[in-house]
Structure 1
C-alpha cells in the first residue's frame, strides 16, 4: 500500500511538471485550432454580407429605343391663325393609314459610382386633324428634340440587383433643345413657323422593385422658365411613368405613359404653341 501511494504521488508530480511542455508542443502542432487568426475571422465577417447602399464601382451603360404614340391637345397659333387640336391615342392610330403619327427616341445613359449622364434624341412627326366636320384643316408638329443631362444618385440601389427590394432616387439637371416646325394645312391654307428652344431643366426620377422581374419608375422635370437671354419656353414640363420588365440581365422591356408640355411664343410674336403631347410608349433597353 505504501509503495502504491508513493508511486501515485510521483506520477501526479510528473504529469503536473510535464503539462506545460505538452501543452506548448501541442499548441505548436495545431496552432490553427488553439489560436485562430482573428484578423482573418473579422475580414471574413465583414465580407460575408455585401454592402447594400454603395453603388457599383465600374461603368454602367444602357441604350434604349422607345417608340412614343403621342397625341396633341391645347392651342396653336401659326402666323395669326388659331387652331385647337384635341387628339388622343385612338385618334393617332386612326391617322396611321395616311400618316405615321409617332415619335422615335434613342436614349443612352452612362454612370459610374453616383454620377452619370443622359443623352436623349427624339424625332417627332405628329399630325392632328380639326374637330370641325366642315373643314379639312389639320396641324403638324415635326422636328428634333434633344436632351443632355447630368444626374446624381441620392439613394443608390444594390449593385447588380433588379426587382424586388431595390429602390433608387436620382436628381438631374440639364438642357432640352427643341428644333420644331409647327404648321397649319388646308386646301387653301399652308402656314408654318419654325422655332428652336433651349430649355434648362431640373428634375428627379425614382425606381423601385415590385417583384423579381418587375419595377415601377417615375420621372418628372420642369424647364424653360422664360429666360430672356436666349430663346426658351415660357414653361415646360415632362412626366414619364411606367414599368420595366426585367427579362434578362442585359435586356429590359419598358411600357408606360409620357406627357411633354410646351408653352412658347415665336420671336415674331405671331405664332405660339401652348399644348401637351401625351401618349403611351414601348421601349427596348439593352444593358452593358
Structure 2
C-alpha cells in the first residue's frame, strides 16, 4: 500500500513539474521568412537594333523645297554608313532616370542624265548627287516611382529631347563640283511614363512613352516603346518589341516632319 502511495506521489510530482516548466520556459519561436530588401541603387544599359522605316517631309536646307520622303528599312540600310542606339536606365529608391541616345549617318546617292545645256557652258552628260545626313537624338528624363507592388511598377517622367540634324549635298558633273552643308537643332520638353509588369519569373512586359514639343522646339513630338523581355540571369536579359519616334518641326526655313517606326531587338546588362 505504501509503495502504491509513493508511486502515485512521484507521478503527481512529475506531472506538476511538467506543468510548471510549461509556464516558466519561453516558447520556441518559429523562423520567420524575411524578404530581402531591395537595393537602393539599380542601373542597366541596353544597346539595341532598330529596323526603322521613315516617312515624312524634309527640307534639308533653309528655305529649300520641302521633299516628301518614304523609305522602308531596306532602303535606309542601303544608305546607312553608321547607326548606333543605346538606352540607359537607373533608380535610387523611388527616384528614376532614363536616357535614350540615337545617332545615324546616311548617304543618299542619285545620278541624273540628259541635263539641259546652260548658256555659255559646255554640255554635261550626267551629274552625280550625294546627300549626306547625320542625325543625333537624345531623350533625357527623370522622375518618381508612383506605384510599386511585387511584379509591377509605374514611373512618371519629365525631361527633354535634343535634336541635331546635319545635311551636306555634293554635286559632281565632271568639270563642275560643288557642295553645301547646313546644320540645325532644337530642344523639346517631354513628359511621359514607364510601366513594367512581370508575366512570369522570366518573362516581362514593359512600355515607355512620352509626348512633348508644345511649340517650344518643335510643334509636337512623341515616342513610344513596347517590349517583351526575357531574363537569362540576374544581370542579363533580352528584349524584342516595337518603337515609334515622331516629330513635327518647322522653323526658320527648316522643315523636319518625320516618323520613324519599326521593330527593336535589345540586350540588357544590369549592374
TM-score w.r.t. length of structure 2: 0.75
Structure 1 residues without counterparts, runs of 5 or longer? 159-165
Structure 2 residues without counterparts, runs of 5 or longer? 115-126
Helix, strand or coil at the partner of 1:81:
coil
Q: Confirm or deny that 1:279 pairs with 2:268.
A: no
Match of 1:199 in 2: 188
Deviation at 1:127, TM superposition (A): 5.3
Q: 2:7 & 2:195 partners in 1: Cα distance?
A: 76
Greater share of residues in strand = 2
Equivalent residue runs for 1:2-151 within 5 Å: 18=13, 22-23=17-18, 26-27=21-22, 31=25, 35-36=26-27, 40-41=29-30, 44-45=31-32, 47=33, 50=35, 56-77=38-59, 78=61, 79-93=63-77, 95=78, 99-100=80-81, 103-126=83-106, 141-151=133-143
Match of 1:168 in 2: 153
TM-score w.r.t. length of structure 1: 0.72
Evaluate the alpha carbon distance shift between residue 17 and residue 179 of structure 1 in structure 2; reply closer, same or farther with a 3 A threshold: same
Q: 1:186 & 1:119 partners in 2: Cα distance?
A: 38
* Number of equivalenced pairs: 252
Post-superposition Cα deviations, 1:195-227, rounded to whole Å, max 9, x if no partner, equal 221111111121223343322221110111112
Helix, strand or coil at the partner of 2:70:
coil
The 10-residue stretch of structure 1 (236-245 or 12-21) with the greater mean CA deviation from structure 2 = 12-21
Equivalent in 144, 154, 171 of residue 146 of structure 2:
154
Q: 2:202 & 2:109 partners in 1: Cα distance?
A: 40
Evaluate the alpha carbon distance shift between residue 137 and residue 217 of structure 1 in structure 2; reply closer, same or farther with a 3 A threshold: farther
Q: Confirm or deny that 1:238 pairs with 2:223.
A: yes
